[in-house]
Amino acid sequence: MKKILFACNLLLLCFLISFNSNSQTVNLKIIETSDIHGHIFPYDFVNDLSLQTSQSQVSEYVKQERAKINQEVILLDNGDILQGQPVVYYYNFENTKKKHICSRVMNYMKYDAATIGNHDIEPGHQVYDKIKKELNFPWMAANAVDNKTKEPYFVPYTMIFRKGIKIAVLGMITPGIPNWLPENIWKGIVFNDMIETAQKWVKIINEKEHPDVLIGLFHSGVDYTYGNVTADTYRNENASKLVAQKVPGFDVIFAGHDHHKYNMKIKNPKGDEVILLDPARHADFVSVVNITLNYDSLNNRCKKIVEGELVDMRNYKPDAEFIEKFAADFNEVKNYVSKPIGEFTETISTRDALFGNSSFVDLIQNIQLNLTKADISFAAPLLFDARINKGEVFVRDMFKLYKFENLLYTMELSGTEVKNYLEFSYDNWFNKMKDENDNLLRFKIDSTGNTTNRLYSSFYNFSSAAGIKYTIDASKPLGYKLNIVSMSDGSSFDLNKKYKVAINSYRGNGGGGHLVDGAKINQNELPERIISSTQKDLRYFLMKWIEKKKIISPNKLNNWTVIPNEWWKKGKEKDFKILYK
């Protein structure tokens, strides 16, 4: 009897050993950063302040997770690393011989893969082509295609292997770049529709690689209606959710670009759930997907449990080793931004710019007119709540005055196109007021018909003009708001005349819709309207202009007003409290 029991136990043990050898459980933790925008250090170089979050906190979090023996960590980035804080501007354009700070930081952190973002294209070929060679991991964008070879300009996808598990990561970039950036910056590259590209490459990946997990790493937002478009809009700027809904096969899709947090589950065409995550910006959060895979090699089956979360980086201290390793870079950039360049006799703020003429925007208008000798200038506040104080002005202040690395164009527009451009701008900016108790600014309306505290359009689209005198009637609808009285020198304004207009490259390439939807100029015609362009970014010229003048006395041009005046006053007071509590 004992021999029989022993034999049975031995048989059971052999069966269990055999079962375990044919099955394996692997825990994957996939961490995604997105839209870091130069927030490498826990320090704001623009405002000379400490920060609670940065890539250094992400480094600490990743180290802690990698130290856990029961999981396999994969680290991904979703683009827009090369614009934002002065540290990246410095290595883009000032210290160009040294290996780029982003390449060195991301190699140190051992990223497994990354997608390139639109602001990574913005510095131009000389920057992103250099970084592409410096990175120790694939920089991806399957839908950015070389115009000559018809192959992806960057890596389309990559395979990552963990304990026998095959993970495919497909990268894509928002296809809206030609609408925002000058062609010489992305010359030779075609940006294709994301849905079509995903359909193509998912088929290739499945047939060639047979992955256990398929991840989409898309530098593209979630709200596909942004900019008054629809789900059917070809080359939709924000197509991450659309891909999840229309292209089967993905387990996870990481979104970015839109600076919003998302953690949701989407049904694909086969009825399967797809985790969709977006960590917003500046390393405030990271997206984390935990995947438990039970792989049965005997039956060639893999059972997956997929869960997503957003992890707050405020709960982690900066990585001390990270800080020490890049201390020399930190000090070099801090010295750069601390260089004095001039003096302001008055404090300027973008708060005024949301409600009317402002010294802040009008300083930019004046410099643009001075640099281009144009008849008219268009400009907008690029930061929601920026302030440059009276007194000594430093290089860091130029990143408040002008946030983005736009070039400065001189374009030819008719008087009618100038008027329609401004009609479009103010219709998105100011509400059609019913009476003096109504909102001056145009706020979003929620699903119940109530006014929210969020603006209808982004503040950087609130483009006003210099070089002309005009009024905005807040009680009138689109097409009837604007009355151009004259040119600023008192001469007549002619709707049929051709004018030279100073305008940034984002707007000049169709960004915001002012020229295409407002002035009704065909997108393909815009390059023909460009008379001249600066070769360096506008911030560079603003800085040089201030250095030359030394003493700057900012003042309002007072060339445009909102009527009825009493309505404007009450509306401004009400809306100011909503926005700046």
- pLDDT tens for each residue of 313-340: 999 999 999 999 999 999 999 999 999 9
What would the two tokens of residue 290 be?
């935990």
**The pLDDT value given to residue 260:** 96
Q: What is the mean pLDDT of residues 362-381?
A: 97
Task: Mean pLDDT check: name the lowest of 57-61, 351-355, 443-447.
Answer: 443-447
Share of the chain above pLDDT 70, in %: 95
The residues spanned by each domain of the chain are: 23-333, 340-579
pLDDT tens digits, 274-299: 999 999 999 999 999 999 998 776 76
Interatomic CA distance for residues 363 and 408, integer angstroms? 15
Confidence of residue 4 (pLDDT cuts 50, 70, 90): low
In this model, does residue 152 exceed pLDDT 70? yes
Determine if residue 410 is left, alpha or beta; phi over 0 gives left, psi from -120 to 50 gives alpha, anything else beta.
Answer: beta
pLDDT tens digits, 220-247: 999 999 888 999 999 999 999 999 999 9
Return the residue matching tokens 């000389």: 126
Q: How high is the mean pLDDT of the chain?
A: 94
In this model, does residue 18 exceed pLDDT 50? no
**The pLDDT value given to residue 1:** 54
Q: What is the chain's alpha carbon radius of gyration, rounded to the nearest angstrom?
A: 27
Which residue, 336, 337, 341, 346, is CA-closest to 391? 346
pLDDT tens digits, 516-575: 999 999 999 999 999 999 989 999 999 999 999 999 999 999 999 999 999 999 999 999
Q: In terms of DSSP H, where are the helices of 188-246?
A: 194-209, 240-246
pLDDT tens digits, 488-500: 999 999 999 999 9
Beta-carbon contacts of 419 under 8 Å, excluding residues fewer than 6 positions away, are 482, 484, 495
Q: Does 3.40.50.150 match the CATH number of domain 23-333?
A: no
Q: Where are the beta strands (DSSP E) in 232-357?
A: 252-254, 261-267, 273-279, 285-296, 301-312, 340-344, 348-349
Return the residue matching tokens 């260089």: 339
* Strand order across the 157-162 sheet: 157-162, 165-173, 213-219, 252-254, 273-279, 261-267
**The pLDDT value given to residue 22:** 59
pTM: 0.90
Do 344 and 123 touch, CB atoms closer than 8 A? no
Task: Give the count of beta carbons closer than 10 Å to the beta carbon of residue 483.
Answer: 14
Beta-carbon contacts of 16 under 8 Å, excluding residues fewer than 6 positions away, are none
| Parallel/antiparallel/unpaired status of strands 464-466 and 376-379 | antiparallel
In this model, does residue 15 exceed pLDDT 50? no
Determine if residue 37 is left, alpha or beta; phi over 0 gives left, psi from -120 to 50 gives alpha, anything else beta.
Answer: left
pLDDT tens digits, 382-435: 999 999 999 999 999 999 999 999 999 999 999 999 999 999 999 999 999 999
Which residue, 538, 535, 499, 537, is CA-closest to 519? 499
Confidence of residue 14 (pLDDT cuts 50, 70, 90): very low
Confidence of residue 23 (pLDDT cuts 50, 70, 90): low
CATH topology assigned to domain 340-579: 5'-nucleotidase;  domain 2 (3.90.780)
Which residue, 431, 526, 417, is CA-closest to 472? 431
Task: Give the count of beta carbons closer than 10 Å to the beta carbon of residue 79.
Answer: 30
Tell me which amino acid residue 325 is.
Answer: K
Q: What is the mean pLDDT of residues 32-48?
A: 97
